[in-house]
Structure 1
Amino acid sequence: MARMSKEEKKPTFFQIICKGFNTEKLTVPRKFLTHVLKELSERAILKLKGSSDYSWTVNVTKTPKGAVRFNGGWQEFLKDNSLGHGDFLVFTYDGKMQFSIDIFDNTACHRIDDKINPNSISSSGDDSVQNLSSSESSEFDESTEEEEDEEDDSCKDSEATCEDNVSEDSEATQTESFKSNFPHFECVIGESVFVPSAFSRKHFPQGKSFEVILKNAKGKK
């Protein structure tokens, strides 16, 4: 068995940007917090993986219910990288509250960093972050009652996400059991559908436009 590289061992989590996504803050998954709690600080550094040209400093807050969020500076990161519906972000934790981020767009491919708007990026200055003791980390961001209500909403959103995941697992099982004698591929339905290039080259006419008729399992167009 091949040994895992140091990069593969680093903890990661992902975030999908979709319609209704709250651009004002990003909540770090609760299960991921075990990797950052000992180094938790009032700010974090975000960088694009494979690039050291730009970095973004975001404020980090912890609510009384234990949720950890990126807020101040998070909107700038989204704006500077022209992130929107369908983009898929993978966060790799490099330690000391520094994260490297991979961006995949709605073609399911790794995005080239040509969408960065350097004119709107302010210098991040010192990339170092100051660690907080466990008592300090539990005290910073003493949320108001209104913020606690927002946390309740966030929990509801998380529960909805979990329910969606259960539904997706069920759908995945159905997909795996699907069999057909005709050529086919699997995809997630959205505003547009990306057809795998290998499938397109093998089954679609090349070099010209054509129409495609879609039918469901019952034959309805």
Structure 2
Amino acid sequence: MTQYLFEPPVVRSIPVKGEAAEYPVGRIFCVGRNYAAHAIEMGVEPDREAPFYFTKSAQATLMSGEILPYPPGTGDFHYEMELVLAIGKPVFRVSAAEAADAIYAYGCALDMTRRDLQQLGKDKRRPWDLGKDVEGSAVFAPLTRAAELGDIGPQRIHLEVNGEVRQDARLGDMIHNVAEIVADLSKYYHLRPGDLIMTGTPAGVGPVVAGDVMTGGIDGLDPISLTLAEAE
């Protein structure tokens, strides 16, 4: 048995409705600007040619209902409500039809973002890591098997801050649908079970402060919530 110099990171996992076993988190891929209205509010033209991606660490995983301290190094911490999909079998260089068959489950997610540090990265043509790969910034509600949700498109996606609606759209507003995203990403990675893909956020993103409570939902999926606490 392999010995380690220190305890390796704990495996993060997400409950799945109807399953005793949980879905272990491997890699977290995120799609940028996948709703046209959000791209515009970020000051750029929607790019319909192909998706683009950034990543978060598995250790950024936080479960719905938990409390997150306001993160260090930022004065502009934003919420982004998203649909996340969970890969259920290995795929590499697949068609959109094959990609759709590889989606095991869906869930509600929050991509929490240090917007000022993300913008600094953009301004200096540097990576977005400090803005996006933040401890506790990948928040997940329990997953629902894909077959139970059905075709993606008509479902409402929304987010409230302290009960006030801030984001409200339909999954059909995504520029690149879920099958197209998986197929495109499979050109660059051997996707495998444990891989999660956060599919982008609608317009209406904005800052939150300590004491704020975020709640969100997608029709047919378990809702999500997050409370922001004072900085440590």
User: Under a length normalisation based on structure 2, what TM-score does the superposition of the two structures give?
Assistant: 0.30
The structure whose Rg is larger is 1
User: Under a length normalisation based on structure 1, what TM-score does the superposition of the two structures give?
Assistant: 0.31
Considering fraction of residues, name the structure with more helix.
1
Considering fraction of residues, name the structure with more strand.
2
